[in-house]
């Protein structure tokens, strides 16, 4: 049982690293400090941050479930999680290039903007693509 607890802690640590990396990347792609915008009650920033984190959590679940057993899948979970971070960043940048204006700037708007839902959708869609590739 103690070994299983160690594995849970190790996978949780890997998951936290991937989630923090994903948050930092989406923060870098948007103006201002995403965390500060969320804490100030900005709905646009909250939607984008939340969809990024939930989507990465989904990728991590698939990576853990479908790769290796016990300690053997730990490195796979990290690699596939970071691939997910990259895929989401690429999706965000491509969507930004295809739409008028700058999607990242919308995070600073006080009023909920429909484009943030599209930005969140690309985060989730890219996560589903990564997840499907793991099955």
pLDDT digits (tens, 9 = 90+) for 119-134: 999 999 999 999 999 8
pLDDT at 125: 96
Residue indicated by tokens 């006080």? 110
In which band, very low, low, confident or very high, does the pLDDT at 98 lie, cut at 50, 70 and 90?
very high
Residue 110, pLDDT score: 85
State the DSSP H helix or E strand holding residue 66, giving kind and residue range, or none if neither: helix 43-66
At 15-45, the pLDDT tens digits run: 999 999 999 999 999 988 999 999 999 999 9
Query: What pLDDT does residue 15 have?
Result: 96
Whether the Cβ atoms of residue 48 and residue 119 lie closer than 8 Å to each other = yes
- Model pLDDT, residue 45: 95
Q: How many helices (H) and strands (E) does the chain have?
A: 6, 0
**Mean pLDDT along residues 43-50:** 96
Residue range 102-119, pLDDT digits in tens = 888 888 888 999 999 999
Do 120 and 53 contact (CB within 8 A), yes or no? Answer: no
């Amino acid at each position: 049982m103690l070994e299983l607890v160690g594995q849970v802690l190790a996978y949780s640590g890997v998951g936290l690293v991937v989630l923090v990396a994903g948050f930092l990347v989406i923060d870098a792609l948007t103006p201002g400090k995403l965390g500060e915008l969320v804490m100030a009650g900005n709905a646009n920033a909250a939607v984008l941050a939340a969809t990024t984190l939930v989507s990465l959590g989904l990728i991590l679940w698939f990576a853990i479930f479908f790769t290796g057993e016990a300690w053997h899948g730990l490195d796979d979970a990290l690699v596939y999680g970071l691939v997910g971070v990259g895929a989401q960043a690429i999706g965000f940048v491509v969507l930004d290039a295809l739409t008028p204006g700058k999607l990242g700037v919308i995070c600073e708007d006080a009023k909920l903007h429909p484009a943030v839902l599209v930005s969140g959708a690309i985060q989730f869609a890219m996560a589903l693509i990564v997840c499907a590739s793991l099955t």
